[in-house]
Structure 1
Amino acid sequence: MTLLFYAQPYDISAEGYYFRSIEEYDCQASTLRNRCGQKVEEFEIQFIDGDRIDCELAKAWGLDQATLELFMEAADEWDIDQKTKFIIAVGECGYSIASLCEDPDSVEIDIYEVDSLKDLAYQFVEEGLFGDIPERIQFYLDYDAIAHDLGMDYSEVKVNNTNVVYRCA
């Protein structure tokens, strides 16, 4: 899906414009004048339309004039996993935008697409994370207690309408 943005001038005597590419933005920004004929230089960049994940990425990115071109490249080139990792790293784990905008894979975050910590507990038991537990004994495990313990290191968040459980390293 093509992204749509709006450049809202901080100068209230000028009118903003919609754009879909950095070239459109630059072209319109270079010719925009206020009522007095002065060049308009500062804009608030608003994300108007695109995929939900790109909207969430724009919000985490802190979209503005200085970061617009990098954001547009990332939205176009990154896959959903990279976008999800960036959103969680910046929004939940406290990483800086600057440290991740070049390579979101540089951050160590464990991400699981599960509905709850209890589901993650089941997944960990099935994968053998707690050792080889015979199937007949697995029915007697207290998955709520395991989920509670996992909650000390893991958190839940909804990204792109998908519940994910993550752990910041």
Structure 2
Amino acid sequence: MTTLFAQPYDITASGFYFNTASEFSAKAAKLKNDYSQPVEEFEIQFIEGEYLDAKMFEALGVNQANHAAFLEAVTDWSDDDKIKVIIAVGEAGYKFTLGDDAPHQYEVNLYPADSIADLAAQFIEEGLYGEIPEPLRNYIDYEAIARDLSVEYEEILLGGTRYIYRCG
């Protein structure tokens, strides 16, 4: 379960932990500062949850206006969708509006591989460069192909898994 913390911008008020949007609304409506004034603005902080959820929180810049959509995405999206959004927004700089945009709107080619050289070998094995006879495969310069691929492909380590990706 993902736990967030609402830290009031008002220094005379104390924040609170929450797990759902309705819990946030109920606690925020009751919160008063030391002068019995309602507290209206909060900084939302990620406290506890899955690694990919924390990275997605960071990439999307979750705040008071979009925390409900974030909590919904945490439960509804697959890990693959989360990874693609983390890469598209956090690494490639694409814009994403929680609640309006969908994670599959970006063309992110994602490959779990240890290196771009491994990806080059995978592409050759899958026949991306055409049918190459087995005896000739020993003469292929995988490092040269990897250097060519590195123009368009990048590496990222997420949750202990290295991914090679390309944003289209």
Q: Which secondary structure state, in structure 1, belongs to the residue aligned with residue 13 of structure 2?
A: coil
Q: Aligned partner of 1:155: which letter?
A: E
* RMSD over aligned Cα atoms: 1.2
Name structure 2 gaps, 5 residues minimum: none
* Structure 1 residue 159, shift from structure 2 partner: 2.0
Aligned length: 168
- Spell out, residue by residue over 1:10-46, the C-alpha distance to the aligned partner (whole angstroms, 9 max, x if none): 0000000111111110000000000000000000000
The 1-side partners of 2:98 and 2:28 are apart by 28
Name structure 1 gaps, 5 residues minimum: none
Q: Kindly tell me: are residues 110 and 88 of structure 1, through their superposed partners in 2, closer, same or farther at Cα, counting changes over 3 Å?
A: same
1:88 aligns with 2:87: yes
* Structure 1 residue 100, shift from structure 2 partner: 8.4
Partner of 2:46: 47
Q: Which secondary structure state, in structure 1, belongs to the residue aligned with residue 113 of structure 2?
A: coil
The 8 Å contact of residues 56 and 160 in structure 1, kept in 2 or not, is answered as: no
Q: Aligned partner of 2:64: which letter?
A: Q
Partner of 2:158: 159
The 1-side partners of 2:20 and 2:158 are apart by 25
The 1-side partners of 2:108 and 2:83 are apart by 10
Partner of 1:16: 15
1:102 aligns with 2:101: yes
The 1-side partners of 2:71 and 2:108 are apart by 24
* Structure 1 residue 102, shift from structure 2 partner: 2.9
Partner of 2:111: 112
1:131 aligns with 2:119: no
So what's the TM-score if we normalise by structure 2? 0.96
The 8 Å contact of residues 100 and 107 in structure 1, kept in 2 or not, is answered as: no
1:140 aligns with 2:139: yes
Partner of 2:65: 66
The 8 Å contact of residues 100 and 106 in structure 1, kept in 2 or not, is answered as: no
The 2-side partners of 1:135 and 1:46 are apart by 54
The 2-side partners of 1:135 and 1:101 are apart by 49
Q: Aligned partner of 2:123: which letter?
A: F
Partner of 1:78: 77
Q: Which secondary structure state, in structure 2, belongs to the residue aligned with residue 167 of structure 1?
A: strand
The 2-side partners of 1:44 and 1:72 are apart by 15
